[in-house]
């Protein structure tokens, strides 16, 4: 089921997931939008669960936050949709350039 209405940008890089200060594991980003992202992971996350998403260090060079809070909107098999606490990206062109750089 579609949950995001914002334009999605393909991104392929790994992130770390945390619950409070506890490391949950790694996930792979499939796509990102202004207000969320889709990840693939073998972790078991529940709908409405709050997690903290730690982006790779290279993302900070593009003005991304180090860590952002996200809510699990849906968890289907190993595909999980996360909604950011608020829109953290404002410019889609800059987001695309950052994704291209981080993904390489």
8-state DSSP, 86? S
Asked whether residue 34 is assigned to any structural domain, the reply reads: yes
Asked whether residue 26 is assigned to any structural domain, the reply reads: yes
Asked whether residue 2 is assigned to any structural domain, the reply reads: no
Name which of 12, 13, 7 is nearest 90 in CA terms. Answer: 7
Asked whether residue 4 is assigned to any structural domain, the reply reads: no
Sequence-ordered list of residues with C-beta below 8 angstroms from that of 98, at least 6 positions apart, any chain: 59, 62, 63, 64
Asked whether residue 51 is assigned to any structural domain, the reply reads: yes
Domain count, the chain: 1
Across the chain, which has 104 residues, the per-10-residue mean pLDDT values are 68 95 96 92 93 94 92 88 86 87 88
Is residue 72 packed enough to be buried (19+ CB in 10 Å), middle (13-18) or exposed (0-12)?
Answer: middle
Asked whether residue 59 is assigned to any structural domain, the reply reads: yes
pLDDT of residue 3: 52
pLDDT of residue 1: 43
Name which of 49, 27, 29 is nearest 95 in CA terms. Answer: 29
Domain that holds residue 66: 9-98
């Amino acid at each position: 089921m579609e949950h995001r209405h914002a334009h999605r940008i393909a991104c392929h890089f790994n992130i770390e997931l945390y619950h409070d200060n506890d490391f949950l594991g790694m996930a792979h980003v499939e796509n990102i939008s202004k207000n969320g992202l889709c990840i693939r992971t073998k972790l078991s996350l529940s709908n409405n669960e709050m997690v903290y998403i730690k982006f790779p260090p290279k993302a900070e060079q593009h003005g991304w936050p180090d860590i952002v809070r996200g809510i699990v909107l849906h968890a289907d098999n190993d595909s999980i949709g996360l909604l950011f606490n608020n829109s953290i990206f404002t410019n889609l062109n800059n987001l695309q350039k950052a994704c291209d750089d981080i993904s390489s």
